[in-house]
Structure 1
Amino acid sequence: MSVVVVTDSTASLDPEVAARRGVTVVPLQVIVDDDALVEGEPGATPGAVAQALRDKRSVSTSRPTPETFAATYARLAEEGATAVLSIHLSSDVSGTFESAQVAARRTDIPVTCVDTRQVGVATGYAALSAQDVIDGGGSVEEATAAAHRRAAEAVTYLYVDTLEYLRRGGRIGSAAALLGGALAVKPLLGIEEGVVATLEKVRTSARAIARLEALAAEAAGERAVEVTIAHLDSPDRAAEMADRVREELAEQLADREVRFTELGAVLGAHVGPGMLAICVAPLLTD
Structure 2
Amino acid sequence: MRIKIVTDSVCDIPDELIQQYDIKVVPSYINIGNQSYLDGVEMTRKQFYDGLDSFPQHPKTAAPGPETYARAYAKAEEEGFDHVLSIHVASNLSTIYNSTIKAASEVKIPVTVHDTQQLTLGAGLQVITACKMAEAGATVKEIIEVITDLGNRTYVYALLDTLKFLHLSGRINLALRGIGSLLRIKPLMTFHSGNPIFEKVRTRGKAIGRMLTYVRKLGPLEHVSVVHTQALEAARCLYQKAYSLIPENNQPIYQIVTPAVGAHVGPNGVGLVCVTC
Give the TM-score normalised by structure 1.
0.87
Q: 1:133·1:146 contact (CA, 8 Å) conserved in 2?
A: no
Q: Partner of 2:25: helix, strand, or coil? A: strand
2:75 is matched with 75
Retained in 2: the 8 A contact 1:164–1:177? Answer: no
1:5 aligned partner: 5
- CA shift in 2, pair 1:167/1:141, >3 Å: farther
The answer on 1:190 being equivalent to 2:190 is yes
Structure 1 residues 196-240: Cα deviation after superposition (integer angstroms, max 9, x where no partner): 221x32211122123223322333x224x2222111132221121
Cα deviation per residue 1:107-149 (whole Å; 9 max; x = unaligned)? Answer: 1011011111111111111112222332332221121122222
Deviation >6 Å, runs of 4+: none
Does structure 2 retain, via aligned residues, the 8 Å contact 1:116–1:152? no
Q: CA deviation digits over 1:142-192, x for unaligned, max 9?
A: 21122222112100011112334235445x465995564575421211124
**1:49 corresponds to 2:44:** no
> Gaps spanning 5+ residues in structure 1: where?
none
RMSD value, Cα: 2.3
In 2, Cα distance between equivalents of 1:277 and 1:164: 18
Match of 1:238 in 2: 235
> Contact 2:86/2:112 (CA < 8 Å) preserved in 1?
yes
SS in 2 for 1:81: coil
Q: Deviations over 1:52-83 (max 9, x none)?
A: 33126220101122111111111111111111
1:12-23 to structure 2, matched below 5 A, reads 12-23=12-23
State the Cα distance separating 1:2 from its structure 2 match.
Answer: 1.1
Q: Could you tell me how far apart the structure 2 residues matched to 1:62 and 1:213 are?
A: 33
Separation in 2, partners of 1:227, 1:9: 21
**Residue 14 of structure 1 aligns to which amino acid in structure 2?**
P
Q: Distance in 1 between matches of 2:114 and 2:172?
A: 26
Question: Would the aligned equivalents of 2:30 and 2:37 in 1 still touch at CA under 8 Å?
Answer: yes
Indicate how the Cα distance of structure 1 residues 117 and 281 shifts in structure 2: closer, same or farther if over 3 A, else same: same
Distance 1:195 1:174, change over 3 A: farther
Q: Distance in 2 between matches of 1:174 and 1:275?
A: 20
* Worse overlay, 54-63 or 173-182: 173-182
Query: What is the rounded CA distance, in whole Å, between the counterparts of 1:176 and 1:117 in structure 2?
Result: 31
Q: Could you tell me which residue of structure 2 aligns to residue 281 of structure 1?
A: 275
- State the match for 1:88 in structure 2: 88
Aligned residues: 275
1:203 corresponds to which residue?
Answer: 202
Cα shift readout 1:25-65 (whole Å, capped 9, x = no counterpart): 111111122211011135x3233323433126220101122
1:54 partner SS: coil
Alignment of structure 1 residues 105-254 onto 2, 5 Å: 105-169=105-169, 172=171, 174=173, 178=177, 180=180, 183-198=183-198, 200-219=199-218, 221-223=219-221, 225-245=222-242, 247-250=243-246, 252=247, 254=248
Question: Does the CA-based 8 Å contact 1:233-1:274 persist in structure 2?
Answer: yes
Question: Does the C-alpha gap of structure 1 residues 105 and 174 become closer, same or farther in structure 2, counting only changes over 3 Å?
Answer: farther
Query: CA separation in 1, counterparts of 2:175 and 2:90?
Result: 21
The unaligned stretches of length 5 or more in structure 2 are none
Moved more, 75-84 or 262-271: 262-271
- Does the 8 A contact of 2:152 with 2:193 survive in 1? no
CA contact (8 A) 2:220 2:276 kept: no
Q: Secondary structure of 1:80's match? A: coil
Letter in 1 for 2:223: E
Secondary structure of 2:52's partner?
helix
**1:66 paired residue number:** 66
Q: Which residue of 1 aligns with 2:256?
A: 262
For 1:281 and 1:158, the matched residues in 2 are separated by 15
TM normalised by structure 2 equals 0.90
Cα distance, 1:130–1:282 mapped onto 2, change above 3 Å:
farther
